[in-house]
Structure 1
Amino acid sequence: MNQAFTPTAVNCDISAENRQFYADVVAGLQAEPKHLNSKYFYDANGDKLFQELMNCPEYYPTNCELEIFSEKTAEICDALIADGDAFDLIELGAGDATKSSYLLKYLLDKKADFTYLPIDISDNVISYLNITLPVTLPGLKITGLNGEYFEMLKKAAAISPRRKVVLFLGSNIGNMPLDGAIEFCRELRNNLSEGDMVLIGMDL
Structure 2
Amino acid sequence: MIITVAGFKGGVAKTTTAIHLSTYLQRLAPTMLVDGDSNRSASLWASHGGLPFQVVPEAQAMKFSRQYEHIVIDTGARPTADELKDLVGGCDLLVLPTNPEAMSLDALLQTTEALQTLGGTYRILLTLVPPAPSREGEDARALLESEQLPVMRTTIRQAAAFRHASAQGVSVDRVRGSKAGKTVWLDYEAAAREIVAAIGAGA
| Structure having the higher Rg | 1
Task: Give TM-score, length-normalised by structure 1.
Answer: 0.36
Higher RCO (C-alpha under 8 Å, 6+ residues apart): 2
Higher strand share: 2
